[in-house]
Structure 1
Amino acid sequence: MHLENAPEPAVTDRAAFEARLAELRVQEKAHTRAGDRLAAARRRLPVVEVDARTPVTGPDGPVPLIDTFEGRSQLITYYFMWHPGHPAAEQCEGCTWNNTQVDELSYVHSRDITYAVFCQGPYEESKRYHEFMGWKMPWYSAQPSLDTLLEGRRIGSMHVVCYLQRDGRVYETYWTTSRGVEAVDINYRLMDLTVYGRQEPWEDSPEGWPQTHGPTPETPDVHPFRSDGRPIAHWSRIRAGRSDDLTT
């Protein structure tokens, strides 16, 4: 959507602009420091042991959970929602949105952390989706072990789960779901810096601001992560000639 006809914010001079921005900076710094305190609290959480032998399926077949660390001491896993037997266009647009932003992993590797996707669907079918998207992160199917790995949580929802391994044993250290998985998302962080924001109906924006990227009572089928019936990132892959056939 082009924004040429969107309402314009109030125009002021440089001094007034900087004064209002200085007021906002106080709130931004408080928000940053609150985030630091939350991160500090996460580092002080107790952990719970998970069977290190829990199987997941990768390119070489079933492997134990501890092997997915790739020799590192920490593991971040994204539990990717999956609709078995459905075509690529009907797979999870939110999980696609998030993981399309995961590219360069050397930075997390430098902190002794592995990032991997644990798909909640079958390996062969979902691996073809991974290839269609052109993703490079490690990809596994956790489908046979979801009752163990997501114990007490809603299977089928997106989750980010963190683990630690020590002396052959694996511990779960943190997990989040719903908007918590925005930790993977840089695009929303960038949009939040702009004058029109995410342009989604739930946002608190001035009257008349564009908010067309999301469902409303009048447009219940509009989704912020889809365009013309597909996850947004699909279209560049289709134009590049990649096949999204998940059945062959």
Structure 2
Amino acid sequence: MPQHQIVSREQWIAARKALLAHEKELTQARERLADQRRQLPWVKVDKTYAFTGPNGRVTLADLFKGRPQLVVQHVMFAPDWDAACKSCSFWADGYERMVPHLAARDTSMAAVSLAPSAKLEAFKTRMGWTFDWVSSGDNDFNRDFGVTFSPDEIATGKPMYNFGTTPIYGPELPGISVFYRNEAGEVFHTYSCFARGLDMMNAAYQYLDLTPLGRHEDGLPYPMDWVRLRDEYEPQAAKAMCCHG
């Protein structure tokens, strides 16, 4: 149990209200940032990207499913891997049931990976996921949107990830890209985020941030070293962490 100051309920309320003022400042700043995000200029997508899904060929335009907005989750899953990245899967568990809610606000969602469609479908079944997931193994989508890198690019050591601000630490990296399709059928790239920019889309992390222990990732080889695929956690892991954390 972490050592902490113990106070009366009245003292706790006073401290909580002081923190609430800062939380409101953050909320207002986040709303201003969201407005600035919506004001970003757009880039027209001229390529007709063809993906492979469980029912054959689909284009980027098809992924909109008739809606004007599309969110693409770039899930790390290389062609020679047997499973998707455990951290990307951590995010996927969070948005799995979100798709109908997004659809209610004119937004479709799909995951895209390099692995062949058969592998994606098999892993989807294992995880119990239902969102659309297509393979970009036959096109340049991943490279064009900044999540796949060649061995030569990695060897340079240059920061090419996250708009040239972050060194490449692997051939496959995570990201989110957002697109808009107008009534004429034209597709525009409106937004992308990578690295810590993805943090706010992980609901589990946001819940952990409310707790006394927080994410308690200090001292790990890397922050998400503890993360496992949902069906690979040790049954007693949570209890052991509670007793010895």
1:163 aligns with 2:153: no
Unaligned runs of 5+ in 1: 1-5, 202-210, 237-248
SS in 2 for 1:163: strand
Residue type matched to 1:224 in 2?
W
In structure 2, distance between residues paired with 1:115 and 1:183: 17
CA shift at 1:224, angstroms? 2.6
2:137 matched to which residue of 1?
A: 143
Q: Percent identity?
A: 29
- Work out which of the residue numbers 208, 211, 214 in structure 2 matches 1:197: 214
1:12 matched to which residue of 2?
A: 7
CA shift at 1:148, angstroms? 4.1
Structure 1 segment 209-224 matched on structure 2, within 5 A: 214-215=220-221, 223-224=225-226
In structure 1, distance between residues paired with 2:109 and 2:115: 18
2:54 matched to which residue of 1?
A: 59
Report how many aligned residue pairs link the two structures: 208
CA shift at 1:154, angstroms? 3.7
Q: Is the 8 A contact 1:52 1:169 kept in 2?
A: no
In structure 1, distance between residues paired with 2:143 and 2:34: 22
**Larger helix percent:** 2
Structure 1 segment 52-91 matched on structure 2, within 5 A: 53-88=48-83, 91=84
Unaligned runs of 5+ in 2: 149-171, 234-245
CA shift at 1:144, angstroms? 2.0
1:96 matched to which residue of 2?
A: 89
SS in 1 for 2:57: strand
CA shift at 1:194, angstroms? 0.8
1:235 aligns with 2:227: no
In structure 1, distance between residues paired with 2:204 and 2:211: 11
In structure 1, distance between residues paired with 2:142 and 2:77: 16
Scaled by the length of structure 1, the TM-score of the pair is 0.78
1:47 aligns with 2:38: no
Q: Is the 8 A contact 1:52 1:64 kept in 2?
A: no
In structure 1, distance between residues paired with 2:58 and 2:91: 25
- Work out which of the residue numbers 15, 25, 32 in structure 2 matches 1:30: 25
In structure 2, distance between residues paired with 1:112 and 1:195: 38
Scaled by the length of structure 2, the TM-score of the pair is 0.79
CA shift at 1:49, angstroms? 1.0
Structure 1 residues 181 and 164: CA distance shift in structure 2, 3 A: same
- Work out which of the residue numbers 87, 110, 126 in structure 1 matches 2:104: 110
